[in-house]
């Protein structure tokens, strides 16, 4: 993600979330936060989605992931999250965590598909409606090993 992407990212953010991040929040992430890594997914020159994480020691914390509404449901979110997981492994992460609304079943299914397991609840985490967050964790090393095994199996 580059500074010139922020305007579009904020449009997607407003499409996706009831309490969207501001452009100054993204600006701060890209210029001041040394833990932050943000990826943009482009399709035919258009930004289709983005995802971010904070990498602290060997743990990656997903901050946000969103696809533009008309790009959802086409396996792009899955590809984007897989890319974020690969980047996290490359940067030395062993585990990845995130929070997801109890009501956001679509995202929960995506996370479960990519190896995330529920590990607890943050009660009343979301300020707009007091909804609880499910905390999920994934073991990236295990995912990377399974990927390698799949690749080896493909070769045979």
Ligand X SMILES: CC(C)(COP(=O)(O)OP(=O)(O)OC[C@H]1O[C@@H](n2cnc3c(N)ncnc32)[C@H](O)[C@@H]1OP(=O)(O)O)[C@@H](O)C(=O)NCCC(=O)NCCS
By annotation, the residues acting in catalysis are 99, 111
Of 9, 100, 134, 138, which lies in the binding site for ligand X, with binding defined by CB under 6 A? 100
Q: Measured from the CB atom, is 92 or 121 closer to ligand X? A: 121
For ligand X, the binding residue among 14, 75, 122, 149 (CB under 6 A) is 75
Task: Choose between 27 and 79: whose C-beta lies nearer to ligand X.
Answer: 79
In this structure, what is the dihedral angle of CA atoms 82, 87, 91, 92, given to the nearest 10 degrees?
A: 10
Question: Is residue 67 within the footprint of ligand X (CB under 6 A)?
Answer: yes
CB closer to ligand X out of 66 and 96: 66
Instruction: Tell the smallest beta-carbon distance from residue 106 to ligand X (Å).
Output: 4
Compute the distance between CA of residue 67 and CA of residue 90 in angstroms, rounded to an integer.
24
Question: Which tokens sit at 78?
Answer: 């899955």
Select the residue interacting with ligand X from 27, 70, 113, 149 (CB under 6 A): 113
Concatenating the DSSP letter of every residue in 111-153 gives HHHTT-EEEEEETT--TTT---EEEEEEEHHHHHHHHHHHHHH
- The angle, 0 to 180 degrees and rounded to 10, between the axes of the packed helices 140-155 and 76-90 is 110
Which residues are at the interface with ligand X (CB under 6 A)? 16, 65-67, 72-78, 100, 104, 106-107, 109-110, 113
């Amino acid at each position: 993600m580059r500074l010139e992407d922020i305007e579009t990212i904020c449009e997607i953010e407003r499409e996706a979330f009831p309490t969207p991040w501001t452009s100054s929040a993204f600006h701060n992430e890209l210029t001041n936060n040394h833990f932050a890594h943000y990826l943009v997914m482009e399709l035919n020159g258009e930004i289709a989605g983005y995802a971010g994480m904070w990498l602290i020691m060997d743990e990656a914390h997903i901050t946000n992931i969103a696809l533009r509404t008309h790009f959802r449901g086409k396996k792009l979110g899955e590809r984007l999250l897989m890319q974020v997981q690969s980047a996290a492994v490359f940067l030395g992460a062993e585990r990845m965590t995130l929070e997801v609304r109890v009501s956001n079943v679509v995202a929960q299914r995506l996370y479960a598909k990519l190896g995330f397991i529920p590990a607890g609840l943050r009660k009343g985490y979301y300020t707009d409606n007091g909804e609880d967050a499910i905390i999920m964790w994934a073991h990236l090393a295990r995912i990377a090993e399974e990927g390698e095994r799949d690749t080896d199996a493909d070769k045979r």
